Amino acid sequence: MFEKQIVIDGKGHMLGRLASVVAKELLAGQKIVVVRSEQIVMSGSLLRNKDKWARYRKKRHNTNPVRGPYHFRAPSKMFFRVVKGMIPAKTFRGKQALARLASFEGVPDDFSKMKRMVVPDALQVLVSKTYRKTTVLGTLASEVGWKHGDLIKKLEAARIAKNAEFYAAKKADAKATAAAEASVPAAINAELASFGYHIEPTAPGAMKALKEEFATTLEASE
């Protein structure tokens, strides 16, 4: 709460619980982005959820089906519909709240290097019994007409491989930098310090000793 934008990783979250938390935060003014919506989990077996979806598809406007309801097939839109049902969407406040929500399948490039959060109150491993039957939202979406499941899997595999390569290069660069700093003679460091380009690293445990000294001084002054 009170952050510019929160990115939530939907993998392994229960659909209803996650939607309720997101809806509450949206109404409070928080901007939220939900990624990997296709890996959100629903309670119930796949057969049961397909039967519920078939009944939902029969809902239509009395005179003109173009007026709704719209039967979204994409997992991100399914999640959006669940959140919408928990918000007074026809009021001005509700419309502004929904405008603060964005949901995606996979992880788009804009959010691939941003910190992604989880919602402990909605994680399947924490709130669902191990013997309960569950359905992955992406599987249900593919069964009812979503045609981009394989594409999302391909893009996600490419993203994970790219991020792993970047992390390996980052670790190697950090290791090389540490080795280079350790091999620099003390005389060169002293000369750099004379020009203001070298700062001696803090010794291990120095900060702890400084805090203890400060606490001792504070107690003595009292």
Q: What is the mean pLDDT of residues 94-118?
A: 94
| Whole-prediction pTM | 0.77
**Torsion, CA 18, CA 19, CA 20, CA 26, rounded to 10:** 110
Cα separation of 186 and 188, whole Å? 5
- Give the CATH fold of the 6-147 domain: Ribosomal Protein L13p; Chain: A; (3.90.1180)
Residue 1 pLDDT: 52
CB 71 within 8 A of CB 109: no
Per-residue model confidence as pLDDT tens digits over 31-41: 999 999 999 99
* pLDDT of amino acid 200: 67
The pLDDT value given to residue 208:
82
Q: Whats the size of the chain, residue-wise?
A: 222
Judged against a pLDDT cut of 70, whether residue 18 lies above it is answered with: yes
Domain boundaries, the chain: 6-147, 150-199
Give the confidence band of 15 by pLDDT, cuts at 50, 70, 90.
very high
Tens digit of each residue's pLDDT (9 = 90 or more) over 135-189 = 999 999 999 999 999 999 999 999 999 999 999 999 999 899 888 777 767 777 7
